[in-house]
Each structure stands twice: as structure tokens, then as C-alpha cells.
Structure 1
Amino acid sequence: MTRTELPGALWRQPEFRRGAREMMGVSLGISAWGLVTGVAMVKSGLSVPLALLMSLVVFAGSSQLAALPLIASGAPMWVLWATAFCVNLRFVIFSVQWRMYFGHLPLLQRMSVGYFAADLNYVAFLKRFPEPKPEPAQLPYYWGGVAWNWASWQIPSIVGILAANHVPTQWGLGFAGVLALLGLAYTLLKDRNTWVSAAVAGCAAVAAYGLPLRLNILVSIAVAVTVGLLMEHWLPERRVSQ
């Protein structure tokens, strides 16, 4: 795609449809997660307008779910910001990889690409384009995938927000949210390093459970990132030549 091509023409390209089609397989889990998060936002004490604003502006399900218990417990703002920052640290790593593909785009386009970026889109994109160099097909494929992902998240999330006051608390939505997150997390455990990092993070979260203000979440994230980086440096995965 040239710098002057209108983004509206992307949806007519075959790669756009391919990107959307390859996200359909995981959209059910994303939708369940979005629905649970929408209900949880209102149940945590947010007003409907504020919950809608949070869903549309933040667009980071893991950060939203991590922040909601802190909001409900009246945690200080710095704890909220620190938690959201740590949960989304992975996108710093993602952005380094995205830059190899989209670094040549104008600033506003890069900002829009960054806003819609998501974990599973990242995985699908790298599987489709393993070589880190710009190609014309990449942007249509990216927008097809993130458009489907965004709709799969936002529509159920908005439904959950609007219907939250009609959902009984005893349905155990917190547990349902954990199940949805586990289902999505499982799709990201693709090699030894991610499995070990996830296992260590789980152990750290349990060991630090007694900390106030849910700080065990921050501890587990910090430990997982540290272990992951150390393993990437000292024990890199061996790639089998094709």
C-alpha cells in the first residue's frame, strides 16, 4: 500500500478478508472475555457511561480486569497506573517487532496501528509474515484481523455493560472471567519459555497473595517478565530449519 492510498480501500483486498477469517477461530473466546469484562466494570462500581468510555478508549482487556478489583477496593491511583503499566509491558516488546513492518508509515497511521494491536493479532500476523520486512499485503491483513478482533471485543463488552444491572451477582462472573482469560492465555503458550514464565508467574502470584492492594499481581508480572527475558538471553529456543 502506498502512503497516499486511502485506508477505506483495504477492506476490498483479499488479505483483509484473510486476516479477518484467521481471527474468527479465536473470536468466541474474545467475545466471552469482552462480555465478562463489560459486566465486571459495572459490577465494580463504574457508571455505565464511564464503563463505555473505558471500554472504547482503553481497549486492553487484561489491564481492565486487573484494575477493576483495585477500583472496587479504593486503591490509590498510582497502584492502578502501575498495574495497568505492568500488565501491558508486553506491548513494548510487540512494538519493537511491529516497527520492522510498519515503521515506514506516517505517525498517525502508526498510532492507529498501535491502538488496535492485540495479542492474538500479533501471533497471527507473525505466523503469516515471519520475515520482518515491509510488504504490500501486510497492512490489509493486519486491518482485517484487528477489525474482527475489535468488533468481537467491543460488541459483547457493550452488551455486558448495558445488561450488567440485570445479571445476578451470584452467577460468579469473576470465575467466568478467569476461565475466559485462561482460555486466551493458553493460545499464547507456544513454546518452552512462555510455559516456564507462566508457571513461575502463577507460583509468584500465589506466594505473594498476602500482599495488600492486590500487589501480588504486580509481583507475578515482574517475575514473569524477568524470567522470560533471562530465558530468551540464556536459553534461546532452538528453531528447526524448514
Structure 2
Amino acid sequence: MSLPHRAIVQHPEFRRGARDMMSITLGISAWGLVTGVAMVKSGLSVPLALLMSFVVFAGSSQLAALPLIAAGAPMWVLWATAFCVNLRFVIFSAQWRQYFGHLPRAQRLRIAYFAADLNYVAFLKRFPDGQPAPEQLPYFWGGVALNWCAWQIPSVAGILLANHVPTQWGLGFAGVLALLGLSYSLLKDRNTWVSAAVAGCAAVAAYALPLRLNILVAIAAAVTAGLLLEKWLPEKRRSA
């Protein structure tokens, strides 16, 4: 059964979910600020950039799409890149279905919009057994509420102030550092480390491809490597 909104906010797990996300909000905010500035610097108008920030709410796919928009890439390349970058959410959703699959569809759609990578990591640390429980929904909303605000407030600030930010400030490099910090928190075992290394090597090797297609090559290589590792070298020997 779903809890009323007030009961969710007042539940102790709501505060715990927010508290568990607190330590990583600085990196999320830096990433949001850089993405907001990058959207306007790439040629998007302020209203369109605001619409993209609130509707898409997926920083990695936004950053991947911006160079393609600036380069005038075909729409199919843009959609294919965003689709591949966000494929990981299919895995996240399949895992979250064990906990939230019994909820009404409208509620599941709201959960899907606010769901994010690091909320997934924190949620599974808190509830690793895959069994639904009443306290899981308050914990989820506590985490995603903080995450959403930590992203959107700096992103909107970056959009509104982008024309006043000098390009020599090197915000692109700051964005890389923010992404590296967030990516590091997702590298939890041998297979993810190997897949990340394969993605990095593939991206560099295919860098000369037009329209940033090296991103698609890196994603395809990482997914392939991850699937092969799961098949040939599963992590079942971790306890040994």
C-alpha cells in the first residue's frame, strides 16, 4: 500500500535517504552547474535549456547530446547517443521493480522520472534483499528529493548566468572532474572497473570519428565487455 505524501515526508527513512545522499551533493551540484552553462554555450536559448534541464533530467545524456546539437548532427545520431547513454536505467529499473512493482502506474512513472544513478547505489546499500517494505518509499523520496534539488538549482543558475561566465574559466574541465567523482562511486567490483577501462580505451581509439561517434563506440565496447565478463568470469568468487 502506498503511503500518503505527508506520511512519506515525516517518516524517519525520508530523512535517512536525504542524509545518505548529502555527502555526494557537492559533486552533483558542480556537475549541474557545468551542464547548465554548457547548454547555453552550445547554442541553446535560455528557455530551451531550462526545458531540457527539467524535462530530460539526465546529466550524462545532456552532456553527450550538447556537442552533437552544436555540430548539427542528424536527429538519429542524437537520439541514438542519448538512448545508449541511458541504457543503464533499464538495469536499474529492473532491479527497482522488485521493490516498487506493486505500486500504481502513475506512481511508478513519477519514481522513474526522479530515479538517478547514485540514488540506485544508496538504495541498494540500504535495502539489499530485494523484498518490498513500507519504509523503502520514504527512503527513496528522501534521497531523490535532495538529489533533484542539488542538480536543478545549480543547473538553472548555470543557464541564467552562462552569458556572464568567461570561457577561459575552464568549466569543461570542472565538469570532467565532477563526472569522474560520480563515476568512481559506481565502480563497485572488478567487472565494472574493467568495463570502465574498456570504455575509456575505446573512446580514445575512436576519437577521430565524426559527430562524437566515439561515445557510441565506447558504450558498445563497455556493454560488450561487461556482458562477457558476467558470462565468463562471474563475481561469485568474491567471498573467497
Q: CA shift at 1:239, angstroms?
A: 4.0
Q: CA shift at 1:177, angstroms?
A: 1.1
Pairing partner for 2:53 from 28, 52, 55: 55
Q: CA shift at 1:171, angstroms?
A: 1.3
Q: Give the counterpart letter for 2:47 in structure 1.
A: P
CA distance in 2 between counterparts of 1:51 and 1:221 reads 25
- 2:200 corresponding residue in structure 1: 202
- 1:6 corresponding residue in structure 2: 4
- 1:83 corresponding residue in structure 2: 81
CA distance in 1 between counterparts of 2:228 and 2:145 reads 34
Query: Once superposed, which parts of structure 1, at least 4 consecutive aligned residues long, lie more than 6 Å away?
Result: none
Q: CA shift at 1:175, angstroms?
A: 1.5
Q: CA shift at 1:9, angstroms?
A: 2.4
Pairing partner for 2:115 from 107, 114, 117: 117
CA distance in 2 between counterparts of 1:37 and 1:63 reads 10
Q: How does 1:24-63 map to 2 (within 5 A)?
A: 24-63=22-61
Q: Secondary structure at the match of 1:146?
A: helix
1:229–1:7 distance in 2 versus 1, CA, 3 Å: farther
CA distance in 1 between counterparts of 2:42 and 2:178 reads 18
Pairing partner for 1:15 from 1, 13, 16: 13
- Spell out, residue by residue over 1:10-35, the C-alpha distance to the aligned partner (whole angstroms, 9 max, x if none): 11000000000000000000000000
Given the alignment of the two structures, is residue 97 of structure 1 paired with residue 95 of structure 2, yes or no? yes
Q: TM-score, normalised by structure 1?
A: 0.97
Pairing partner for 1:189 from 166, 187, 195: 187
- Spell out, residue by residue over 1:195-226, the C-alpha distance to the aligned partner (whole angstroms, 9 max, x if none): 00000000000111111100000000011111
Q: Give the counterpart letter for 2:190 in structure 1.
A: R
- 1:228 corresponding residue in structure 2: 226
Q: CA shift at 1:160, angstroms?
A: 0.4
Q: CA shift at 1:172, angstroms?
A: 1.6
Q: CA shift at 1:229, angstroms?
A: 1.5
Q: Secondary structure at the match of 1:152?
A: helix
RMSD of equivalent CA atoms: 1.0
5+ residue gaps, structure 2, are none
Q: CA shift at 1:240, angstroms?
A: 2.6
Residue identity over aligned pairs, in percent, reads 81
CA distance in 2 between counterparts of 1:230 and 1:7 reads 43
CA distance in 1 between counterparts of 2:37 and 2:7 reads 36
Q: Give the counterpart letter for 2:198 in structure 1.
A: V
Q: Secondary structure at the match of 1:190?
A: coil
Q: CA shift at 1:7, angstroms?
A: 2.3
- 1:240 corresponding residue in structure 2: 239
5+ residue gaps, structure 1, are none
